[in-house]
Amino acid sequence: MRYGPVRSTIPFDHEGIWVWLRVVVQGTTCRVWFNGMLAAAGEVPAGEGRVGLQIHLEKSSVEFRDLRIRSL
């Protein structure tokens, strides 16, 4: 199976504010909500994997708080 990045439908300039992010993977479907709005959806390989949190913008910062991971 081949997969790759899926572009967000939400503008990405949110520097300096906290946002609510929800990621749900069910089977091979991955959906991402940004402040309650569906921002991206795509396919991922089946099976167990890892969770990685990162930022792709130069000269930006990112902080995470209240992370929760649970099995569905």
Q: What is the pLDDT of residues 23-62, one digit of tens each?
A: 999 988 989 898 899 988 988 888 877 777 777 777 777 8
Note the pTM of the prediction, 2 decimals. Answer: 0.72
The span from the CA of 7 to the CA of 32, in Å, is 11
Under 8 Å between Cβ of 21 and 33:
yes
Q: What is the pLDDT of residues 8-27, one digit of tens each?
A: 776 666 677 888 889 999 98
Of 19, 44, 53, the residue nearest 34 (C-alpha)? 19
